[in-house]
Structure formats: structure tokens, C-alpha cells
Amino acid sequence: MKIVVLSTNPKLYSTRRLIEAGKARDHEMLILNHRRCYMNITSMRPSIHYRGEAVTGVDAIIPRIGASVSFYGAAVVRQFEMMGVYSVNESVAITRSRDKLRSSQLLSRKGIGLPVTGFANSPDDTEDLLNFVGGAPVVIKLLEGTQGVGVVLGETRQAAESVIEAFRGLGANFMVQEFIKEAGGSDLRCFVVGDKVVAAMMRSGKEGEFRSNLHRGGSAELVRITPEERSTAVRSAKIMGLNVAGVDLLRSNHGPVVMEVNSSPGLEGIEGATGKDVAGIIIQFIEKNARPGRTQSRGKG
């Protein structure tokens, strides 16, 4: 098969591992920088060009779309879908998962456990907003944030109100969530491929840090998850429409709650903590499922 990895940086661990895993199984592997792809949007013969040439003969794509280029990256994925190319994660699912508010609404509608979450536009609503998420401390998140950037802990009511006022002054969209104190600054990253959690790790923030992201100095270790946590992770990925996802859970007093469903989860931390060949599992999933025109949305999103 000819498999394209859409990535802006060929040196990234996740990109390199996917290329290695594909080549190890005798596939033709190619890296395309989706920011440098350009599209011929025509009714009968849509095409994608890269460095002056049409991209042809592709059987499947693996989108590694960063949050900063979600709009253009999703457009490139959608164009491949219109060409009948199988995408591991479809454009509709990627854009759906990138919108934290939309994700929370979709998950809550299906009964998935979530931290109590508030969203408002007017400063007149701040007092009641803080009340119904349980009061301080609260977590305040920018909707466009990623890897822990734009996530602030308001430890007191006054601090929370100050952060909310500052975000509103910048015209930023944000959510306010209850702080799950019993999680102790740790979360679970469940790596879902298809209908299975193929690997799981516990991430812990460095001392004094409530965010557990590895990019922020956190650590990771192998963890055994419960059947309920496994089911929650798989259901969350399915609700988003993602075949490959990193589902982040917190262990709360009322069961697992979902913090985020990531459409481009990194491989370095999970492979390092678990010793599993997650990249190889993704390639095997493509082998079983990639068929011309099999994309469900067909670029409709």
C-alpha cells in the first residue's frame, strides 16, 4: 500500500515511528507537509498537488494535524476524502475533537462522565458560573489551547474571577470546569485504535504543577485501567468518530471523567511507558480497513 503521513515535521518521533512501522510491513511510506499541499477543487476530478506535482496512487493517509493548523489541515484531509482516499481519522472527526466545547456537549449528550463544565459570554454570569461548577478551585481552559497551554487553575474565587476577566478582555473563548482534587495532579492517557484501548499510561505533573502533560515536564508510567475506564475511552473515541485517539481521563470520586479526546495523540510517551509498538498497531489497523471510497463522510463535513 502507499500510505501518506501528513506531518509538518518529519523529525518528530510520532512521524518517524509511523514511517518505520509502515516500511517494516513492506508499505510505501511518504511524508507530506499538509501546509505545503494545495488543492484543485473541481466537480469531477478533485486533486492535491505538492511541490509542483499531483499526488496520486495513495491508498491511505494518517493525519498528524497540529492544533495551530487545524483549519487548513482538515481541508487537506477532506480533499483526500473527496478523492476516495481512506483516512485513519476523518476531517469531520478531527474538527469535532479540536473544539473542546463541542466535544464536551457531544460526550455529555451520550452520558459520558465529564467534570462539571460551564461556558458563558457575559461578565454578568461569572458568579453563577463559578457556583454551578462547585466554586474555587476551578480550572479555566482556552477552547483553542493544547498540550496544557491556556489551562489555568483558579485556586481562589478572586483568582478565578481575575483570570476570567482577563480572558474575556482578550476576546478569548474559554470553559470553566470543576477541579478534580482527588486525581492528585495525575491523569490517564488511553490510546484507542479501532474499538480497543491498545495501551494506557498514567501521567503525573511535576511537583507543584496540576497539569500532567509530558511536554510540561510530567512523567509517565504503565498503568492497569479498569473495565469502566476502558469502556469510557472507547465510547468517547467512537462518539468523536475517531479511529485513532488519545483519550485523557481523570479518576474522580464518581468514576472516570473525560478531560479531552485527542485526534493526533503522540506516540513517544505511550510507547516509552508501555513498551508497545503502537505505531505498528496503527499500520495493521489501516491494512484491515483501508479501501477506496470507504471514508464515511466522503468529504461532506
Residue 78 belongs to a domain? yes
Q: Which of 64, 33, 61, 60 is nearest to 49 (CA)?
A: 33
Mean pLDDT of 132-159: 82
- Residue pLDDT, tens place only, 3-44: 999 999 999 999 999 999 999 999 999 999 999 999 999 878
Residues 219 and 138 in one domain: no
Same domain, 224 and 204: yes
The verdict on 152 and 166 lying in the same domain is: yes
- What are the backbone dihedrals phi and psi of residue 259, each rounded to the nearest 5 degrees, phi first? -95, -40
Of 135, 106, 133, the C-alpha closest to 119 is 133
Q: Same domain, yes or no, for 189 and 171?
A: no
Q: Is residue 294 part of a domain?
A: no
Q: What is the CA radius of gyration of the chain?
A: 20
Task: Judge whether 55 lies within some domain.
Answer: yes
| Identity of the residue numbered 290 | A
CATH of the domain at 252: 3.30.470.20
* Domains: count for the chain: 3
Print the domain residue range for 8: 2-95+284-289
How many percent of the chain have pLDDT more than 70? 90
Pair 86, 155 in one domain: no
Q: What is the CATH number of the domain that holds 138?
A: 3.30.1490.20
pLDDT in tens, 254-290: 899 999 999 999 999 999 999 999 999 999 999 999 9
Q: Is residue 76 assigned to a domain?
A: yes
In a domain, 28, yes or no: yes
pLDDT tens per residue across span 196-229: 999 999 998 666 555 555 555 577 899 999 999 9
Assess whether 17 and 43 both reside in one domain: yes
Query: What integer is the mean pLDDT of 126-130?
Result: 86
Q: How far apart are CA 188 and CA 226, in angstroms?
A: 11
| Residue 296 in domain | no
* pTM metric for this prediction: 0.87
Are 7 and 75 part of one and the same domain?
yes
Q: Is residue 134 part of a domain?
A: yes
